[in-house]
Amino acid sequence: MRIAVVGTGYVGLVSAACFARAGQHVACIDIDDKKISMLDQGEIPIYEPGLADAIIEGRSRNRLSFASDASAAKDADVVFIAVGTPARPSDGHADLSQIYAAVEGLAPVLKDGSIIVTKSTVPLGTGDAIEHMIRSVRPELDFDVASNPEFLRAGCALNDFMRPDRDVIGAQDDFAAARLMKLYRNVGIQRQRILVTDRRSAELIKYAANGFLATKIAFINEVAGLCEKANARIGDVTRAIGLDHRIGMQYLQPGPGFGGSCFPKDARALAKMGEDYEAPMRVIETVLASNEARKRSMARRVAVSHHGALRGKTIALLGLPFKAGTDDMRDAVSIPLAQGLTDAGAILRAYDPVAMDRARDLLPPRVRFCGSALEAAEGSDAVVVVTEWKEFSRLDFRKLRKVMRTPLIIDLRNLLDERELQSIGFRYLGIGGSRRHAFERSPASKSPRRASIQRTRDAEEALESIVAGE
């Protein structure tokens, strides 16, 4: 099968590279000439682990080609559309203008027997609209329109594509479904991982999945807020509920609110679909409101740590994208956080290992971008961990403390070791209450046995020693 992928963003490039790895010939098409000429010269426009190698490999085997004209799809048996579907600023509906522009470009060049597949996340009924558009231009053309939503996660996208929990194929025609299934079987996806359904259900599956995950995050963030007020510990709560296999550990890490290119806009689009179909999505509407409030409250959290007086204080932001492993800055919490802190008069210094170029135009103009975490922390009154990059947990904290004016760390990801930082002399503020064991936090006991328990580094060990002594 010859494949074309329209849109060379995170999803398009990863899909194309993985199909090429599986031996397919893939024509990649994008209207962004600059991107196409970069790709043509072997430069990769985005950061995604493993992607550069996969693209270099595909090019060297002549399985990947890049073009800015839709006519490059003229020989394709399967055309994947992977263009953006951002939220429409006016009302939050999915903006389908990139989809329709792509279809307009493709319609005149499609060959008989081709399958046009939406990999982009598109609302219910988009496949019907695409079918109608193509039929109105090419009434004689034999073609199918299918839905194959993508579930990859930025940061581990290639692995997710090659080893998905499931692939969903939504088609109105068994023959089209079978051809797409064959394509994925060739990539190495097992039959039992491929779910075949109708086109509308496939379109909805993607929104329902993202809506559910967003709900989990918003829920645990609210529980974390309750822990802070009620002196309970979110770490123990998440561990205990996550061990319930009906709930599971994933997407239960409390943080500054969800962002990124998918959850916020997909949750909004799902709420809008509910309105359109008169099937209200009240849960999702609440999740969205809760998440917005959460993101906005992060600047306040930093201000409270300085008793509301941020004017003239220097704050270091470590990490800028919406999560670690990507340079994707879409809807990243660092944006409203930096704005809120700047509005309150703080002086900002920022560092990120991969996203500084993308962040420059999105953060307030006076943010100073630094070459390392240590440089960002110089002279600061607080270091705020915004993105959970592993390298931040391996910093030399003694050195960090020396360069800071005030030894305060605000860890919005509960990434760092609270106990270690406190022992070095930092004031540490995580999310959802202290993670230190109750024994360690209680005042020193007069009982020698209890005192020895308090000295025990590992609280689990301390408990074991009581149990063993009884």
Exactly one of 35, 272, 358, 437 binds ligand NAD (CB under 6 A); which one?
Answer: 35
92 vs 105 by CB, closer to ligand NAD? 105
Query: Do residues 169 and 194 touch, judged by C-beta distance below 8 A?
Result: yes
34 vs 455 by CB, closer to ligand NAD? 34
Q: Judged by CB under 6 A, does residue 160 bind ligand NAD?
A: no
Residue nearest to ligand NAD (CB): 9
Exactly one of 20, 73, 82, 110 binds ligand NAD (CB under 6 A); which one?
Answer: 82
Stretch that binds ligand NAD, among 97-105, 344-352, 360-368, 386-394 (CB under 6 A): 97-105
Q: Judged by CB under 6 A, does residue 123 bind ligand NAD?
A: no
Exactly one of 22, 32, 40, 138 binds ligand NAD (CB under 6 A); which one?
Answer: 32
Residue the block writes with tokens 């009620």: 230
144 vs 327 by CB, closer to ligand NAD? 327
- Cα of first residue to Cα of last residue in the chain, in angstroms, is 70
Stretch that binds ligand NAD, among 99-107, 164-172, 269-277, 401-409 (CB under 6 A): 99-107
Q: Judged by CB under 6 A, does residue 154 bind ligand NAD?
A: yes
**CA separation (Å) from 73 to 144, 155, 163, 378?**
15, 29, 27, 53
| Subset of 239-278 contacting ligand NAD (CB under 6 A) | 261-262
29 vs 134 by CB, closer to ligand NAD? 29
Q: What share of the chain is helix, strand, coil (3-state, %, to 5)?
A: 45, 15, 40
**Close Cβ partners of 409 (under 8 Å, ≥ 6 residues apart):** 382, 383, 384, 385, 416, 421, 426, 427, 428, 429
Distance (Å, whole) CA 125 – CA 123: 6
Which of 337, 345, 336, 256 is closest to 306 using CA atoms?
A: 345
Exactly one of 5, 9, 171, 432 binds ligand NAD (CB under 6 A); which one?
Answer: 9
Out of 18, 28, 227, 262, which one is annotated catalytic?
A: 262
Binding residue count for ligand NAD, defined by CB under 6 A: 27
H helix or E strand, kind and range, residue 129:
helix 126-137
67 vs 223 by CB, closer to ligand NAD? 67
CB of 274 to ligand NAD, least distance (A): 18
Distance (Å, whole) CA 342 – CA 350: 13
Exactly one of 67, 101, 162, 463 binds ligand NAD (CB under 6 A); which one?
Answer: 101
| b/e code 7-28 from CB counts within 10 Å (16+ = b) | bbbbbbbbbbbbbbbbebbbbb
34 vs 300 by CB, closer to ligand NAD? 34
Q: Judged by CB under 6 A, does residue 98 bind ligand NAD?
A: yes
**CA separation (Å) from 419 to 433, 449, 451?**
13, 22, 17
Is-catalytic flag, 156? no
Q: Judged by CB under 6 A, does residue 383 bind ligand NAD?
A: no
Q: Judged by CB under 6 A, does residue 329 bind ligand NAD?
A: no
Q: Name the β-bridge partners of 351.
A: 318
CB of 390 to ligand NAD, least distance (A): 20
Q: Which two tokens stand for residue 386?
A: 């915004």
Burial of 132 (0-12, 13-18, 19+ CB in 10 A): exposed
**Close Cβ partners of 411 (under 8 Å, ≥ 6 residues apart):** 385, 418, 428, 429, 430, 431
CB of 467 to ligand NAD, least distance (A): 46
Distance (Å, whole) CA 317 – CA 311: 16
Residues near ligand NAD (CB under 6 A) are 6-12, 29-32, 35, 82-85, 98, 101-102, 105, 120-121, 150, 152, 154, 261-262
Active-site annotation, residues:
262
